Structure 1
């Protein structure tokens, strides 16, 4: 099996009506057209930006180098996680995502469980996460009809550094004022339940089929382990935060693909068998499964987010 070395991925900017025309200081990106709401970091259309695979899309790399990239026994699989940065200028629609079983009922490969890490948050930033306890599903129906669903949603304040788990089946919505790093199953399945009277399509039947009034969603408490923090460790993904500790193949080896995102600082990825490359804030590197010769070299105080897929 051909060995693969770490590489940087170029981001892909997605238009969204609730986004911004200027993403500075996070990205040097401005547009006079439709606003940008999401920056996809591991979408199948994202392309390698360094090394011998430069110019190839993540989908092409996954197809051509399945096990070398993803891990033993994973040939033929899609890249397992979709990582994005979200820039909400206004509140997003109220949504619910299906779990794997419901998604497969409708011919999709998987559902959508996700988490949000707050890279920044302004005073008053909040998300809606779940229906208030004790609310019957019939009341949710009525509230949508009467344009008052927001009254039934649990509002969760968001501060910089928070990790929030969004289990499949959770009714949720993102508000303005925070910049969120989202890690999710590779899926774009979203059922829109409520949109504040805006004239976009709703998916009420599927929303109520997917909705669960009690889920495991909520803020997660970090766990300190060997000089870093585990922010979340769930069925589909583990997300860690590293500060002040050198991240390398010696202390962060994995037999599955890893994603390394720079939340703060500037680093270099180095190894004896590949050309070093830089990683700046909001950039992401892919560490192929089993890579044994790499390390991050910090050039300033840094915060590194390490993301690993879990076996579902």
Structure 2
């Protein structure tokens, strides 16, 4: 299995979405009711939103069909042993024209207890940010469930939250239990566990397209939140003259930044994992031993675990990739 796999983007309409993803992809793929497009799933194994191959001899096949056929050759022997047919990551592009809800994600233990699902730890890479863009990540001070409830009841919730300005190339690590939201004006790549569990805490009293207030999940959120978490989760991005820049490694994924100034060889012979390469710069071409494909801005390529390595040929000196895999 040496094929470089590109998947059809799954565009998701969101009340807070904008128009940038429609311009990058195809607005006809948005899923419902003519709302702005807030998300594009670049690679998803979720049952209700499963990625379908776009290119090559496997075009039209689903991600789970390929995993069932190629098993560890596709996703790595360790990942297949642990996850079987479930692809372990979900990778999105997010366009926030308005603030998302203040929310929290559960850890694996809580998610299994209440929804029999995976928890949700994630990472945000800021592709672009407007001048006044911000996000919320963690608390501004240590608090408690009782104090949190009192601030919420008094209409003072924002005083408890850690608001941070954002700019292009910022990176934030959002562990399960961290209260957070993406503010308006941010275009983001999100790498996360394969999970769609979100406990909404506050939604700025917005109403959906039918005029109803969106559902909140306070009881679950109160149990999921880490009330001692005052860390913004900002990760140092050493985006300098080095061609390969390690960003973060956690139990669920590792991410590096590849700054591709000239033809780059990536050796994966010793890695027991798939690799996802996400283009966050100018266009490039990827070449494996027996396959090649072009990769444009905000497109993702799945490199099978059996692939020994790839070559990246940039079209300019502003070529950057996020490199994502699982270390076992």
Give the TM-score normalised by structure 2: 0.87
**Aligned equivalents of 2:269, 2:278: Cα separation in 1:** 14
* Contact 1:170/1:217 (<8 A) preserved: no
Any conservation in 1 of the 2:89–2:192 contact (CA below 8 Å)?
yes
Match of 2:283 in 1: 266
Task: Say whether the 8 Å CA contact 1:253–1:290 is kept in structure 2.
Answer: no
Contact 1:185 1:236 in 2 (8 A): yes
Aligned to 2:235: 220
Change in 2 beyond 3 A, CA 1:217/1:166: farther
Corresponding position of 2:55 = 50
- Where does the alignment leave 5 or more consecutive residues of structure 1 unmatched? none
Give 2:312's match in structure 1, choosing from 296, 309, 312: 296
Distance 1:34 1:57 in 2: 26
SS of corresponding position for 1:165: strand
Taking structure 1 as reference, are residues 41 and 93 closer, same or farther at Cα in structure 2, changes over 3 Å only? same
Alignment pair present for 1:9 and 2:10:
no
Paired residue for 2:41? 40
Contact 1:27/1:282 (CA < 8 Å) preserved in 2?
Answer: no
Alignment partners' CA distance in 2, 1:188 and 1:128:
19
Task: Tell me which of 279, 288, 301 is aligned to 1:285.
Answer: 301
| More displaced stretch, 49-58 vs 94-103 | 49-58
- Structure 1 segments of 4+ aligned residues over 4 angstroms from their partners: 223-226
Distance 1:62 1:104 in 2: 23
Give the secondary structure class of the aligned counterpart of 1:264: coil
Contact 1:129 1:217 survives alignment (8 Å):
yes
Query: 1:110-162 CA deviation, whole Å, 9 max, x = no partner?
Result: 20000100001111111111122133321211222233312211101111101
Q: Which has the higher helix share?
A: 2
Contact 2:262-2:313 at 8 Å conserved across structures: no
Aligned positions, number: 308
Within a 5 Å distance, the mapping from 1:1-312 to structure 2 comes to 3-21=1-19, 23=21, 26-27=24-25, 29=27, 33-44=34-45, 45-75=50-80, 76-198=84-206, 199-215=213-229, 217-222=232-237, 227-243=243-259, 244=261, 246-250=263-267, 254-274=271-291, 276-292=292-308, 294-301=310-317, 302-311=319-328
Report the CA distance shift for 1:247/1:55 in structure 2 as closer, same or farther (over 3 A). farther
* TM-score (norm: length of structure 1): 0.91
Residue 227 of structure 1: how far off its partner (Å): 2.9
- Do the aligned residues in 2 keep the contact of 1:4 with 1:68 (CA within 8 Å)? no
In 1, the alpha carbon distance for the partners of 2:234 and 2:140 equals 16
CA–CA separation in structure 2 for the residues paired with 1:146 and 1:46: 44
CA RMSD between the two structures:
2.2
| Gapped regions of structure 2 (runs ≥ 5) | 207-212
**In 1, Cα distance between equivalents of 2:309 and 2:101:** 44
